[in-house]
Structure 1
Amino acid sequence: MDPREAALRHAYDHAVRWLAGLPDRPVPARAPVDEIVRALGTDLPDGPGTPADVVDLLATACEPGLTAFPSGRFYGFVVGGTEPAALAADWLVSAWDQNCVMRAVSPAYTAAEDIAGAWLLDLLGLPGDSSVGFTTGATMANFTGLAAGRDAVLRRAGWDVARDGLNGGPAVRVVAGASRHMAVDLALRYLGLGRPELVAADFQGRMEADALREALAGGDGRPTLVVLQAGDVHSGAFDPFPACVRAAREAEAWVHVDGAFGLWAAASPSHARLTAGCADADSWATDAHKTLNVPYDCGLAIVRDPSAVRAAMGERGDYLIQHEHGDPVDKVPELSRRGRAFTVWAALRSLGRSGVAGLVDRLCRHATAFASGIAGIDGATVLNDVVFTQVCAEFGDDARTERVLARLLEDGTAWISGSTWHGRRVMRISVSNWSTTEEDVRRTLAAIRRAAA
């Protein structure tokens, strides 16, 4: 056995033990950072070590400091888990070590990206000739869609931002809902556009279409981007797309949809109504690591007009081998990057159309069960309409809610984080992991009852 094979076998053994132990493992990490630092060692060795020994040290030193994110009882963030076929494919991605930039250099990767992209457009009900780019996550997917929109609306106004930059050009107006996710603001900051103008949203976080139309009426023909949302991070609510898109079209605005986890509702016949009208937008952002459950990192930037995203993202070096049909490099910001499409292809091929729909429905069903169970706890109130995978609850007042959250983490059965919503401290449950079972929900509800008792 050569050193590389030995290291891989050791890594496999550690990975299998980690995954097998998740059902019985407390979800929060058991050791703080400084303890892990001491176990890893702070002195750089003078000479090389055996790869298998290095893998063993990494695995054993880090194990106490690992949070059981892949557990079916982690509900703290909308992060999903890792579906089995996608996990195995991700190991191949590292072993294959492909440069996923050009068709001519890695035809295998490009084939997987082409197929996975077409499958995604079909599942999500989006225009079949749209561009699908694979980014690091939803933040960069939002960045990509908004970059394509920024450049397109400036081009319509007679300004070439690729050549001349933003200085001296027409000011781009960005309008978003008051409950938009912070990733939108971050992407806009990267793009030099600053904070968006905010439009009123209802209690659930849905943009008010009449307020959007009124806001856009005062635009004076300025280049404009409108950002809509599929899945509020607290309530799971979806903007009223038909009315909002119609208002944006009247103002000749580019429409971008942040659908980090909620866009996947379109893949379920039972929940597709939530995304009705969404396909009429110009660009969409989502994250395959969330609802689809592929490994980190894997955002999806989808743009209706492929030429718009090529104009914003494409760049050519003399040493690159340009293909007449375009290359993966034309669709996302990064040059060097992992073969993310391999894992998406594996997840979709493994699940199939009905499997993706079933996954979405199962996550939503668990969220409904959480809401029902919490509503039966003395002093607890579910604050949101549970339409997708999010549940927000309070336990009387902020102080008691904080005590319940603290006791729940001490209990270790599950990880559920707190948040502030409409000025109140809340328990926010995000059901995102493919492996969550009805038993996981039952155990977690029992832990919540203990914490609230």
Structure 2
Amino acid sequence: MKLQEQMRAEFSDKTIFEKAQKYAYDYLDGISEMDVFPSEESLELLKKFDEKLPEKSTSALDTLDFLNNYGTPNTIAQIGGRYFGFVNGGAVPASLGVKWLSDVWDQCAGLYLTSPINAKLESVCEKWLKDLFGLPESTVAGFVSGTSMANLCALAAARFQLLKNLGWDINEKGLIGAPNIRIIAHEQVHASVKKTLALLGFGKNSLEWIPSDDQGRLMLDTLPKLDSSCLVLLQAGNVNTGGYDPFDKVCDMANAVGAWVHVDGAFGLWAGACDSLKHLTHGMEKASSWAVDGHKTLNTPYDSGIVLCRHPKAMVSALQASGEYIIYSDQRDPLLYTPELSKRARAIELWATLRYLGKSGINEMVQGFHLHAKRLAKSLKELGFEIMNEVVFNQVLVRFKDDDSTKKIIAHLQNSGECWLGGTTWQGKAAIRVSICSWATTEEDIAQTIALFQKAKTALG
């Protein structure tokens, strides 16, 4: 049978899709019972993938079965309720189902002409996000892989606009010989921001570094005098403590002189959509640009990042591609707002998540993360653990006695198979970093995790 005939048969027969559906259902049904991180025995199965590239085509079912047999046991139970690592969110049911459908659509989302539905849903999401966060009407959004790329887009727009204000067109002249941009950042700026700046031609030694407080927040009294050449980097949600910078006052100072303020809000910007937590983001709407993930706090399936910018011309000028073959429309063309010409239609599942949850659902879910974090911190403190941060959002930093004991607690918890969380270093001390951001986390999951901490403590003797 010729290859095309084989694929047509597999396509029309639907067995491959029915089998994939069964495997997916089995995974969902077993998520609460599987190890949160693969066991050593499961990890051994990964060696099965060390095969030579087949000389001849195989059947679709053979490949699917192979992946399920050896791949499924080596996944992280991220969509379950006891994965607390890296601020990785779960996936709400509506968005997961919509993702399955949109994967079959397989849209290339660069232009309106390559996917009218994606272009439309990007416009809808842009409008809804401005409403949720209280952003200026002029704000435009780009839909990217995550906050790392969102930061890149926003800071590229900032670089373009600040240099333009200084009489320099970077698109025509490049960076060599360009006027100096003053970049002000405090010492707890996220690693992705540092990487982004390096990609844009700004090494760490070219930044004006200022100290942060014991919660990783910018210290207002250390902010230097600003001018129109300044780019000020703030964050909504420190990656360790969950702390928030003083947006209101910094933005007022920056806007008074024409400086640009960027807010890195990967997981923390969503506090602005929660009635009981929006005080944390007060004033952030005065910034020039923002970066946020859909796949963290909002629980949109991976990958989903959003860049937002109140200066559309700066963003388009920094990111727009040009070519004689590119056919623009009188509708939204997504490639105007990201570096990508070819990209997956990420806005579809983001739209589904926002529509499914609505304002009240987002409020309830985000507030729930905070309440879980508060309960966990309170209980662990009662058990004799040190809570190193003010639990203002969903992050809990935990320590036990000393560095060695803390690392042993981490190892015990990670090896339990019942939950997973990571370690970090905070102010020179080893710490346990707990990130709560899955809709699937229940009171029972928190209770089970607290009990695991107690077991780990007892095991130390």
TM superposition score category, shorter chain reference: over 0.9
- Partner residue, 2:217: 206
CA shift for structure 1 position 409 = 1.4
The answer (yes or no) to whether the contact 2:119–2:332 under 8 Å persists in 1 is no
1:197 aligns with 2:204: no
- Matches of residues 240-389 of structure 1 in structure 2 within 5 Å? 240-378=246-384, 380-389=385-394
CA shift for structure 1 position 173 = 1.7
The answer (yes or no) to whether the contact 2:98–2:349 under 8 Å persists in 1 is yes
- Matches of residues 12-23 of structure 1 in structure 2 within 5 Å? 12-23=21-32
In 2, the alpha carbon distance for the partners of 1:341 and 1:130 equals 17
- Partner residue, 1:54: 63
1:3 aligns with 2:14: no
In 1, the alpha carbon distance for the partners of 2:41 and 2:350 equals 34
- Partner residue, 1:187: 196
In 2, the alpha carbon distance for the partners of 1:63 and 1:105 equals 33
In 1, the alpha carbon distance for the partners of 2:352 and 2:184 equals 37
Residues 31 and 14 of structure 1, relative CA distance in 2, 3 Å threshold: farther
The answer (yes or no) to whether the contact 2:300–2:349 under 8 Å persists in 1 is yes
One-letter amino acid matched to 1:389: N
- Report the 3-state secondary structure (helix = DSSP H, G, I; strand = E; otherwise coil) of the residue aligned with 2:51: coil
1:37-60 Cα shifts (integer Å, max 9, x gaps): 432351222211110221111011
- Report the 3-state secondary structure (helix = DSSP H, G, I; strand = E; otherwise coil) of the residue aligned with 1:104: helix
- Report the 3-state secondary structure (helix = DSSP H, G, I; strand = E; otherwise coil) of the residue aligned with 2:225: helix
> TM-score, normalization: structure 2?
0.94
The answer (yes or no) to whether the contact 2:266–2:292 under 8 Å persists in 1 is yes
One-letter amino acid matched to 1:406: A
RMSD (Å), alpha carbons: 1.5
- Report the 3-state secondary structure (helix = DSSP H, G, I; strand = E; otherwise coil) of the residue aligned with 1:233: coil
1:411 aligns with 2:412: no
CA shift for structure 1 position 93 = 2.1
Indicate the larger mover: 406-415 or 130-139: 406-415
- Report the 3-state secondary structure (helix = DSSP H, G, I; strand = E; otherwise coil) of the residue aligned with 1:111: helix
In 2, the alpha carbon distance for the partners of 1:161 and 1:7 equals 50
In 2, the alpha carbon distance for the partners of 1:266 and 1:87 equals 24
In 2, the alpha carbon distance for the partners of 1:105 and 1:405 equals 48
Residues 55 and 123 of structure 1, relative CA distance in 2, 3 Å threshold: same
Gap runs ≥5 in structure 1: none
CA shift for structure 1 position 241 = 0.8
In 1, the alpha carbon distance for the partners of 2:134 and 2:42 equals 44
Residues 129 and 345 of structure 1, relative CA distance in 2, 3 Å threshold: same
In 1, the alpha carbon distance for the partners of 2:286 and 2:382 equals 41
1:400-447 Cα shifts (integer Å, max 9, x gaps): 101111111122210011110000000110001111111111111111
1:394 corresponds to which of 396, 399, 407: 399
In 2, the alpha carbon distance for the partners of 1:149 and 1:41 equals 45
One-letter amino acid matched to 1:374: L
Indicate the larger mover: 95-104 or 380-389: 95-104
- Partner residue, 1:168: 177
1:436 aligns with 2:441: yes
1:236 aligns with 2:242: yes
One-letter amino acid matched to 2:155: L
- Matches of residues 116-127 of structure 1 in structure 2 within 5 Å? 116-127=125-136
CA shift for structure 1 position 349 = 0.9
In 2, the alpha carbon distance for the partners of 1:247 and 1:32 equals 57
- Partner residue, 2:4: none
Residues 335 and 32 of structure 1, relative CA distance in 2, 3 Å threshold: farther
Among all aligned residue pairs of Structure 1 and Structure 2, give the percentage whose two residues are the same amino acid. Answer: 38
- Report the 3-state secondary structure (helix = DSSP H, G, I; strand = E; otherwise coil) of the residue aligned with 2:32: helix
Residues 44 and 192 of structure 1, relative CA distance in 2, 3 Å threshold: same
- Partner residue, 1:113: 122
CA shift for structure 1 position 14 = 1.1
In 2, the alpha carbon distance for the partners of 1:398 and 1:352 equals 43
In 2, the alpha carbon distance for the partners of 1:319 and 1:427 equals 52
Indicate the larger mover: 390-399 or 30-39: 30-39
Gap runs ≥5 in structure 2: 1-7
The answer (yes or no) to whether the contact 2:120–2:332 under 8 Å persists in 1 is no
The answer (yes or no) to whether the contact 1:135–1:300 under 8 Å persists in 2 is yes
In 2, the alpha carbon distance for the partners of 1:255 and 1:397 equals 39
Residues 32 and 210 of structure 1, relative CA distance in 2, 3 Å threshold: farther
The answer (yes or no) to whether the contact 1:172–1:193 under 8 Å persists in 2 is no
CA shift for structure 1 position 183 = 0.8
The answer (yes or no) to whether the contact 1:151–1:161 under 8 Å persists in 2 is yes
- Report the 3-state secondary structure (helix = DSSP H, G, I; strand = E; otherwise coil) of the residue aligned with 2:439: coil
- Report the 3-state secondary structure (helix = DSSP H, G, I; strand = E; otherwise coil) of the residue aligned with 2:19: helix
One-letter amino acid matched to 1:208: M
> TM-score, normalization: structure 1?
0.96
Query: How many residues are paired up?
Result: 447
- Report the 3-state secondary structure (helix = DSSP H, G, I; strand = E; otherwise coil) of the residue aligned with 2:291: strand
The answer (yes or no) to whether the contact 1:99–1:337 under 8 Å persists in 2 is yes
In 1, the alpha carbon distance for the partners of 2:411 and 2:439 equals 26
CA shift for structure 1 position 132 = 0.7
1:422 aligns with 2:433: no
- Partner residue, 2:5: none
The answer (yes or no) to whether the contact 2:147–2:305 under 8 Å persists in 1 is yes
One-letter amino acid matched to 1:341: A
Indicate the larger mover: 277-286 or 292-301: 292-301
- Partner residue, 1:142: 151
